[in-house]
Each structure stands twice: as structure tokens, then as C-alpha cells.
Amino acid sequence: QVQLVESGGGVVQPGTSLRLSCAASEFTFSTYAMHWVRQAPGKGLEWVAGIWNDGTHKNYADSAKGRFAVSRDNSKNTLYLEMNSLGAEDTALYYCARGTYCSDGSCYSGAYWNYWGQGTLVTVSS
Amino acid sequence: HSALTQPRSVSGSPGQSVTVSCTGTSSDVGGYNFVSWFQQHPGKAPKLMIYDVTKRPAGVPDRFSGSKSGNTTSLTISGLQPDDEADYYCCSYAGKSYVFGTGTKVTVL
């Protein structure tokens, strides 16, 4: 059974940094794109960032550009999200989601995100 | 990219059909056939219900169907059941990024 387990959330002060992790298991991690999606309390879903299976392509929402960095370690089956200059607007539950299968150097663009973790909560507050 | 526009709520009685609309632009919904729909029950992670506008993942009942016309895509739930009561979000590829809809609460009366 595919498993995605996020960790690294917590309460942090404005302007500080935090690194989230997403440990994947029971599938060949290195062959799938991965994504981060967040949900502020009582609000809707917001795509944050995505990364191809081999880490060569990374894309970000405008709200994350210049502050967040997505990365992965395929040897550890782990996805990361490094978040800097955090503000109150970043308070949210952060989910990782398995993206599409990648092959021949490309990843399908459809949002076939059928596996999600349970999320890790980030609270930015002074 | 601004969030796709969805109605805040729709409702129906058990057995009825409801349709949730999702309106974007030619840069997202209208420009690609990469629209997905997610169901989210309170306190739970989202669940993929529809992908590539009309396709259903394995295990999703055929009561759920998707369509698209121009910049608007729709999710139809037929034969409404109590467990269908949840929030539903559309999501579209927007050229190297993705954009979600504002979300619709479906209530089973």
C-alpha cells in the first residue's frame, strides 16, 4: 500500500525557516513526480510546488517563488520543502501528493494525484 | 493564476443529481485537457475522483462524471448518496503550474 508521511511542521515565528519532509514507501519513488499542496485553516487547497522524478524540473506557485525550494532524495525516498521568510499567510496544513509516472525523460502534465499524505501543520505566529 | 471559480455550495436529495461547475480561463481550464476533481471529507486528505476531464481512477463509482466546455468544466454526481456530502475542488494544469478551484460544499439533504 502506497504511503506518504509528512513531517517537520510546527509553530515558528515570522521571518524564520522550516524544512518539511515527505517519506514515501511501497512504490518506486524515483519514477514519479511529486507535489506539495497546502490548505490554510478553513480554506481551500493551494498547489505549492512540484518536482519531476529526477529533480531536473521544479515548478512553484507565485506565492512560493523565491522563498520555497522543493527537492528530493531518491536514495532516501524522501521529498522536501524548504520554506524561508515565513509569514502568517503560510500557516496551513501541508500535504505531499504523488504525481504522475515519468518515463523517457518527461512527466505527464495531468494532475493524476491519487495518493496523498495526511499532512503536517505549519503555524507561523509570534 | 487566480483560483478557478466554483459555487460555494450545491445541494440535492438522495438519489438526485447535482452538478458542480468550475470556471477558469484559456490559460488553464480552456487551454488543456488536464482537469482533475478532488473530494475532501472533513479532516481528511483529498481524494482524486476525476482526472483528464472525464476519466475515473479505479474504485471511483461511475456516478461521478466530468465534462468540459470552453473555459468551464463540470463535475456531475448522479444518484446522490449520503457519503457524497463533502467539499469538492477542481484543479487544472496552467502551464508549469496548477491551480485549484475555490471549492464547493455538496450537501445531501
Query: What is the residue type of B15?
Result: G
- Taking any CB pair shorter than 8 Å as contact, residues of chain B touching chain A are 1, 3, 32, 34-36, 38, 40, 45-48, 51-52, 57, 87, 89, 91-93, 96-103
A105: left (phi over 0), alpha (psi -120 to 50) or beta: left
Query: What is the residue type of B102?
Result: T
Quick: pLDDT tens for A20-69: 999 999 999 999 999 999 999 999 999 999 999 999 999 999 999 999 99
Rounded (10°) CA dihedral B58, B63, B64, B67: 120
> What is the pLDDT, as a whole number, of residue A108?
87
Q: Which of A58, A55, A48 is nearest to A31 (CA)?
A: A55
> What is the pLDDT, as a whole number, of residue A38?
98
Q: How far is CA B9 from the centre of its chain?
A: 12
Contact yes or no for A126/A41 (Cβ under 8 A): no
Contact yes or no for B53/B68 (Cβ under 8 A): yes
Q: Look-up: residue for cell 469538492? A: B88
Q: How far is CA A95 from the centre of its chain?
A: 6
- DSSP-assigned letters across all residues of B31-80: G-S-EEEEEE-TTS--EEEEBTTTB--TT--TTEEEEEETTEEEEEE-S-
Quick: pLDDT tens for A68-125: 999 999 999 999 999 999 999 999 999 999 999 998 888 888 889 999 999 999 999 9
Query: Of B32, B45, B100, which has the smallest distance from its Cβ to A47's Cβ?
Result: B100
Please list the ranges in chain B whose pLDDT falls under 50: none
Q: Which of B42, B44, B46, B104 is nearest to B73 (CA)?
A: B104
- Taking any CB pair shorter than 8 Å as contact, residues of chain A touching chain B are 35, 37, 44-47, 50, 59-62, 95, 97, 109-114, 116-119
Q: Which of B42, B52, B4 is nearest to B26 (CA)?
A: B4
For residue A35, the chain B residues in CB contact (below 8 A) are 98
Most A CBs within 10 Å, among B60, B97, B99, B104, to test the A interface: B97
